Amino acid sequence: MKLSTKCLLTTFGTAAAVGMAYAVQRKANQRKQRFDHDTGFELKEYRMINGIQQYLVHRTENDENPVLLVLHGGPGESAMPTRYLYQREWEKYFTVVNWDQRLCGKTLQINADQKEELASSLTLDQLIEDTREICDVLRAQYHQDKIFILGHSWGSVLGTMFIRKYPDRVKAYVGVGQVVSMRRNEETGYQKVLQKARIAGADHDVQRLLALTPYPQTQFDQEMMDKMMVVRRMQRKYHLAAPISLKALWQMLAAPDVNPGEFSVYFNLDFKLQLPLLQELTGFDLEALDRHYEVPVYYLLGDQDWQTPYPIAQEYFAGIEAPRKQLILIPNAGHNTMIDQPEFFLNALRAVLLA
């Protein structure tokens, strides 16, 4: 009984200490996000976009700064819990707008009663039209004829296809973790992690990876999703993909504007809702399209990114035609390039967009 009581008190004490550390860290993060002067501006809002309410967050030190619309990855993985890790300095130079895409984050939450219906009709074209409406809202709101678009990972698919269809609305495009071919990405990333496992002499990992063949599959279904999750776990183990570590989890939980009551919104991801879109994206391949772009195109790539393998994007980029183009390889950065090297990334972003 005494031992049980002692264990119980230890457990309560540990929980209290963690809870206090969390509260202190979150308050500190909130202080860092405050604006120091009267021109600082933050707006959190729902907008009726393409038939449903969608969630946007605008932040800037001066609302006359050029607008930068950020298209998050996934699909289905909001940037809201992590943007504070790198974005605060961006807001000195840009009006940064983050958007929870349909079936993601707070946009999913407010439309939860129709999520199955929305999932069944989810397409790339639909998301392109969502982007167009948001782009037009921002152009009107900030009195800017054109805005910047930044696409990360899956967001680079959406961003690239958007600027190809609606170049008249875009000042320039920045691709981060740029996807060129979904199939080549998976083939190359799989071979790289298999090579790493063999070099490490990790026979168990090698056999587990070989058991996934054929990889990738021609069709994207639940089996392929399960295989992809195994590959991602292996890639993280060998430092080839964005990590899911205790540090990363703590950083997300302590996000300054994600309340504890919203954890399920951002951390209980249901990729089954994205399955129709993922099936469509299986055949996505920019190499099958012409390489002419009507807007400036910039790639900021992590030189350790094998989740969206940077050599594929480098090879493709060399052949594109655009009014201006530049590729910057960011050292010691992986798939979450702006988190891994925030200062280097911002300097590169300013160099290409504000020079």
pLDDT at 9: 57
> Which tops the pLDDT comparison, 295 or 39?
295
Checking if the pLDDT of 271 tops 90, the result is: no
Contacts with 31 (C-beta within 8 Å, 6 or more apart), sequence order:
none
Token digits of residue 191? 């071979």
- Strands 52-60, 41-49: pairing kind: antiparallel
pLDDT at 173: 98
What are the residue boundaries of the structural domains of the chain, listed by start? 1-30, 41-184+240-353
pLDDT at 18: 64
- 177-214 pLDDT, tens digit each: 999 999 999 999 999 999 999 999 999 999 999 999 99
pLDDT at 255: 83
The rounded percent of the chain whose pLDDT value lies above 90 is 72
Considering the entire predicted model, what is its pTM?
0.91
- 213-249 pLDDT, tens digit each: 999 998 888 899 899 999 999 999 999 988 777 777 7
pLDDT at 244: 74
Checking if the pLDDT of 166 tops 80, the result is: yes
Checking if the pLDDT of 72 tops 60, the result is: yes
pLDDT at 5: 67
In this structure, the dihedral spanned by the alpha carbons of residues 329, 334, 336 and 341, taken in order and rounded to 10 degrees, is -60
Token digits of residue 306? 């094998």
When pLDDT is cut at 50, 70 and 90, the band that residue 50 belongs to is very high
When pLDDT is cut at 50, 70 and 90, the band that residue 12 belongs to is low
> Which tops the pLDDT comparison, 262 or 73?
73
> What is the Cα–Cα distance from 198 to 201, expressed in whole angstroms?
5
pLDDT at 262: 81
pLDDT at 247: 78
Checking if the pLDDT of 101 tops 70, the result is: yes
pLDDT at 7: 61
- In our burial notation (b when 16+ CB lie closer than 10 A, e otherwise), range 273-293 reads bbbbbbeebbebebeeeeeeb
Class of CATH domain 41-184+240-353? alpha beta
Q: How far is CA 62 from the centre of its chain?
A: 25
Give the DSSP letter string of 273-311: GGHHHHHHHTT-BGGGS--B-SS-EEEEEETT-TTTTHH
